[in-house]
Every structure is written in C-alpha cells, then in structure tokens.
C-alpha cells in the first residue's frame, strides 16, 4: 500500500536542497503555514467585527410590543374565542362575563389622518357582537382653534336568575337556562372653541341608558311541607329601563391678572324599574308579583369662579354655586296571574298590594 503524503505549504520546498540545509527545509514550510494561519485569523476577526456592526440594536419592551422600532399611526386587531359549556349556561356567563359559545370581532382599531392644515381626524373603536360590546369614537382637532368629538359606547353584563335550593326536600327553583342580560351605554357629543387668546368654550351632550334584566335575591315565598311556614326560595328578577340626558357648557377666559370660569349643567332622566317575583310557584295559590318603582328627575347647576394674582405670592379667589333638583316618583305592588298585570281586587293577595303611589320633592 502506498503511503499518502501531504504537500508542504510552500511549493519551493519541493526543489532539491543540499544536505546541509535539511534544517532549513523543515523550518521554511512551518514559517509559511504560520503566516497563512495568522492571515486567516485576522481576516476572520475582521469579518466578525464587520458582522457585529450589522446586528440591529436590541428593541425595548415597548418596541417589541409594537412589532418593531417603527411606530405606526393606524392599526386593527382581531380577536376570537370559544367557550365550551356543559351545565348551567347562566351560571357560567355570570361568573366569567363572556358568552357561552363562540365570539369574535374587532378587538381594537385606530385610524388617524390629516384632513386639512393643522387638522387631524381620529377614529377609534372595537366591536364584538356576541359580547354586545361596542365602541366608536370620532374626533376632529384643529390646533389653536378647537375640536369636535362624537362617541358611542355599549357593554353587557350577565346574571343568573335562579332561585334557591331547599336541602330538606331537594327542591330547586331555577329560572330559564339562558342568562339575564343588562346593557349599559353612553352616547356623547362634545365640541370646543379654544383659540390662543380670548374666551374658551366647551359644550357637551351625553345620553346614558341601562336596559335589560338582572337577577335578584329578593326571592318569593314557596311552601316546603311539612314545614308550616313558607321559605323565600322562588326566583326573582329586576326589569331595568333607565335613561338620562345631560347638557353642559363651560367658559373660561383670562383678563389681565384674573382667570374667569363659568359653568352650567342640566340633566333630566327617567327610571322605570320593576321587581318580578313568582309567589308560591307550582302551587294552587301561585301568583306573580310586580313591584314597580318609577322616578323622573331634573338637575340644574350653575357655578362661577375667579382667580386674581395680586402679587407674585398673593392670590385672591372667589366662587359661587347654585344647585337645584326636582323629583317625581311613582310606584305600585300588584299581584296577578301574570307579571305587569292590572290591579284586580278579586285576587286574595292584592289585599297587601297597592297602586297609584305618587309624590314629588324639591331641593335647592
């Protein structure tokens, strides 16, 4: 078998040399190999150094959340989910405040653009239909002039309308398997006049509402033989119908060394709520109780204030405020064969009911 030999790094080492130069023959290739290795090491180090300069700088946590070092004015996020529920759907939705099933929509969006010189328009919101969760806000701002903003916001909460459980007989008083939903919302319009100099004026209108049903623990009576007295176990729920409207104006101005402020606010609203309870459900004497409470109100407030700097370390302030409130209330407690029934003196339980309750109050 022929022995393989590696060529030396220097090709001149292949030339015949005198015997006295055998030591030189051995050192010359080593010197060239060492020089070549040093050159390769320097080139590699230079390459690594150049590569290090091309590595992007580390991002901050805020930049990582935004997706990079560049920030953008407009975005939209989508969200989706699914809840797999076996058992009482109303209990699940009351505890977790999410729908018992699939849900999804726009989790968040923002749009911003310039529509004129020094004028910016913004649009924000989200919409998840199954959650009854909506928000939309439109704003137009002009530097050193004023602004206009319009917004609508709505959300829903769920509750369970089930009644109680009596361990002695194992009797349970459930409501429907579907949860009770209560929607809350607000619509507002706000405009402002804010020049660099002169009076600044802000106007705001707000409409608020609550609409829907919620579970109540003011349970009705139910018999549990052989106990002689009834127990409060029957399910109950409150029907909510409430809305209000408010108007507010604020004016501010600076005259010489004095800051002036003036504000006016008026609010009117109506509340029409009712507690519905089934009394002795499933028994021969079952009757449905509707306990209604209504309130209409008006509120007015006016205030004015001044601040004057007499000296650099002395300020004199004044203020005046006036408030007035008026309420009109009504109510009734009526038993019947169904909820919201008319008063009937022939029903036995109506002896403890009433209707036509009314009254007023004024506060200044």
Per-residue pLDDT tens digits for 32-42? 445 454 555 55
**Sorting pLDDT into bands at 50, 70 and 90, what band is 62?**
confident
Residues 213, 261: Cα–Cα separation, whole Å: 42
pLDDT at residue 10 in the model: 46
Distances (CA, A) of 16 to 21, 25, 39, 356: 10, 10, 28, 131
HSE-CB at 331 with a 13 A cutoff on CA atoms is 13
**Sorting pLDDT into bands at 50, 70 and 90, what band is 186?**
very high
pLDDT beyond 70 at 14:
no
Do residues 341 and 361 make contact, with C-beta atoms less than 8 angstroms apart? no
194-208, 252-266, 289-303, 335-349: least confident range: 335-349
pLDDT beyond 50 at 339:
yes
**Sorting pLDDT into bands at 50, 70 and 90, what band is 15?**
very low
Q: What is the mean pLDDT of the chain?
A: 85
- Give the start-to-end residue ranges of the domains of the chain: 113-363
**Sorting pLDDT into bands at 50, 70 and 90, what band is 168?**
confident
pLDDT beyond 60 at 205:
yes
pLDDT at residue 23 in the model: 44
Distances (CA, A) of 271 to 239, 274, 296: 11, 10, 6
- What's the average model confidence in pLDDT over 344-353? 68
**Sorting pLDDT into bands at 50, 70 and 90, what band is 6?**
very low
Higher per-residue pLDDT: 102 or 342:
102
pLDDT at residue 54 in the model: 67
Q: What is the pTM of this model?
A: 0.77
pLDDT beyond 80 at 25:
no
- What's the average model confidence in pLDDT over 352-362? 89
């Amino acid at each position: 078998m022929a022995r393989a030999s590696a060529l030396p790094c220097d090709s001149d080492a292949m030339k015949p040399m005198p015997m006295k130069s055998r030591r030189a023959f051995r050192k010359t290739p080593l010197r060239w190999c060492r020089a070549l290795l040093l050159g390769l090491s320097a080139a590699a180090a230079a390459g690594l150094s150049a590569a290090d300069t091309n590595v992007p700088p580390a991002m901050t946590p805020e930049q990582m959340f935004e997706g990079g070092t560049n920030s953008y004015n407009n975005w939209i996020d989508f969200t989706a989910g699914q809840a797999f529920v076996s058992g009482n759907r109303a209990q699940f939705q009351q505890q977790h405040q999410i729908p018992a099933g699939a849900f999804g929509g726009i989790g968040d969006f923002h749009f911003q653009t310039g529509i004129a010189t020094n004028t910016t328009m913004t649009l924000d919101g989200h919409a998840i239909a199954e959650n009854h969760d909506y928000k939309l806000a439109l704003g137009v701002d002009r530097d050193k002039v004023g602004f206009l903003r319009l917004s609508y916001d709505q959300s829903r909460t769920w509750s369970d309308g089930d009644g109680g459980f009596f361990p002695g007989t194992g009797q349970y008083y459930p409501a429907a398997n579907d949860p009770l939903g209560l929607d809350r919302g607000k619509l507002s319009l706000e405009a402002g006049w804010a020049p660099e100099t002169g009076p600044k004026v802000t106007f705001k209108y707000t409409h608020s509402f609550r609409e829907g049903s919620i579970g109540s623990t003011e349970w009705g009576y139910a018999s549990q033989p052989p106990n002689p007295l009834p127990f409060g176990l029957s399910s109950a729920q409150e029907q909510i119908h409430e809305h209000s409207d408010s108007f507010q104006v604020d004016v501010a101005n600076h005259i010489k060394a004095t800051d002036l402020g003036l504000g006016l606010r008026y609010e009117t609203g109506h509340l029409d709520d009712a507690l519905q309870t089934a009394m002795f459900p499933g028994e021969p004497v079952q009757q449905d109780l509707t306990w209604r409470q209504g309130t209409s109100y008006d509120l007015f407030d006016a205030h004015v204030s001044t601040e004057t700097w007499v000296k650099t370390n002395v300020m004199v302030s004044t203020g005046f405020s006036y408030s007035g409130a008026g309420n009109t209330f009504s109510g009734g407690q009526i038993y019947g064969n169904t909820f919201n029934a008319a008063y009937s003196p022939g029903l036995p339980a109506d002896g403890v009911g009433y209707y036509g309750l009314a009254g007023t109050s004024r506060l200044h």
